[in-house]
Amino acid sequence: MQPNGVFLVHAGRAEIVSTRAWLKRTDMQRAAVQYATQSGPLLLVDGKINPQFDPASRNKTVRNAVCVQDAQTVSLVTTGTPVSFYQFASLLQQRLGCQSALYLDGAISTFYPAPFLTPQVQLGPMLGVVAPVSPP
């Protein structure tokens, strides 16, 4: 489902852009990116729910996303129960104040809040959250 997008981190800032916008960036702009992953669809763009989502959709599954509230605040979110794209986007918009959000995948993903759990399956691509280390 379109549009899909790219979550990226550069110069200490996070953002989500459409894949189309990413492809228009210069080589220099792309080289400055420290981390990026592409997925889709975009759930929220500029604080608005993707207009392709049907509020009455019965297509529900466990879903997860990366959400950018502002350039310094990012959330990784997984639902505990099956939801539609519209329900998920609404939650991210209203409860977390996300300005942009990118669907990562869904029921095939796992969430391991270390140190409480250990992976029970082999993992592929991985996003992690770490605390900055203060200099001694």
Question: What is the DSSP track for 46-82?
Answer: TTEE-TT--TT----B--EEEEEEETTEEEEEE-SS-
| pTM of the entire predicted model | 0.83
pLDDT tens sequence across 61-118: 988 899 999 988 998 888 888 999 999 999 999 999 999 999 987 666 666 555 555 5
Looking at residue 83, the DSSP 8-state letter turns out to be B
